[in-house]
Amino acid sequence: MQIARTKEELRAALAPARGRRIVLVPTMGALHEGHASLLRQARELAGDQGTVVSSVFLNPVQFDNASDLATYPQTPEADLDVCRKCGVDVVFMPTPEVMYCPDRSITLEETHLSTVLCGAKRPGHFAGVCLVVNKLFNLVQPTDAIFGKKDYQQLAILRRLVRDLDIPVCLHGAEIVRGEDGLALSSRNVRLTPEHRAAAPTIRRSLLAAREAYRAGKSASEVCAAVVSTLEAIPGVRVDYAELVDAETLHPQTDENRLALLAVAAYFGDVRLIDNIELTRS
């Protein structure tokens, strides 16, 4: 496995791989089993002849909250071990100084899907994600890239980025990986207090209950209100949003026959967790 810390090292590492499949898994590090599953899928997709690239870069530009960035876990040595075990060929591990020019002046804003859900709550977040992912696409020039569906909105926005900018890459969405108790794996989970870690699987339980209630005919607002009251019954928990939207437009539903998405973000103390579930009426 090669480790590239500069753009020049990355280009050199990838030169022999051009012309064959290159599968990119962008990450911010603090890799857990969810990332490992993305990396294994990348290895499978690339096959013996292709190349798997993982980026490990805590992208400051996508953080709307300074303390979230400051407390985001960083485990570079363990991350390299995970990459090695999952068959990654090249790890790109730049610093912010390597990644960004100090006087950078281009922004990249998606203006429709980003106005709702996390985008409405975290100003500038998705512009930062689009900027870094677009840079990674330019640097790596992957044929394929894999993103997890826990960040459902992120995946939808990145599909728009690829479509609207004609970026020649095929995006793959990977299913959410959960602990045995149902909690979606997240790098932020390690920051939960023991009490909140024990209570956090309630998010998944409330989404499963919502799916049943929606199937049984409850309205979108009834379903969302039930999720909010279940979660806010836990001491120290505040729901940032719980919204039922059209799964494709991410905006309020106009047709209940289409696939719906129930997305939730909740603060357990100062740790913000997200999760989602797709819903249908029958």
Q: Annotated catalytic sites, by residue?
A: 35
C-beta atoms surrounding 98 within 10 Å:
16
Q: Does the footprint of ligand PAF cover residue 17 (CB under 6 A)?
A: no
Pick between residue 96 and residue 252 the one whose CB is nearest to ligand PAF. 96
CB of 137 to ligand PAF, least distance (A): 11
Pick between residue 59 and residue 143 the one whose CB is nearest to ligand PAF. 59
Choose which of 51, 54, 59, 189 interacts with ligand PAF (CB under 6 A): 59
Q: How far is CA 277 from CA 1, 17, 81, in A?
A: 36, 37, 31
Residues in the chain, overall count: 282
Pick the closest to residue 130 from 74, 78, 61 (CA basis): 61
Window contacting ligand PAF (CB under 6 A); options: 25-33, 168-176, 227-235, 254-262: 25-33
| Residue 48 phi, psi (nearest 5) | -70, -30
The phi-psi region of residue 250 (left if phi > 0; otherwise alpha if psi is between -120 and 50; otherwise beta) is left
Q: Does the footprint of ligand PAF cover residue 114 (CB under 6 A)?
A: no
CB of 171 to ligand PAF, least distance (A): 11
Helices (H) and strands (E) in the chain — how many of each? 11, 9
Q: Does the footprint of ligand PAF cover residue 132 (CB under 6 A)?
A: yes
Q: Does the footprint of ligand PAF cover residue 244 (CB under 6 A)?
A: no
Q: Which helix (H) or strand (E) holds 277?
A: strand 271-279
Q: Does the footprint of ligand PAF cover residue 79 (CB under 6 A)?
A: no
The first and second tokens of residue 231, run together, are 């979660």
Pick the closest to residue 242 from 198, 279, 269, 196 (CA basis): 279
Pick between residue 151 and residue 243 the one whose CB is nearest to ligand PAF. 151
Choose which of 17, 80, 130, 133 interacts with ligand PAF (CB under 6 A): 133
Q: Does the footprint of ligand PAF cover residue 24 (CB under 6 A)?
A: no
Site residues (CB under 6 A) for ligand PAF? 26-28, 59, 62, 129, 132-133, 151, 154
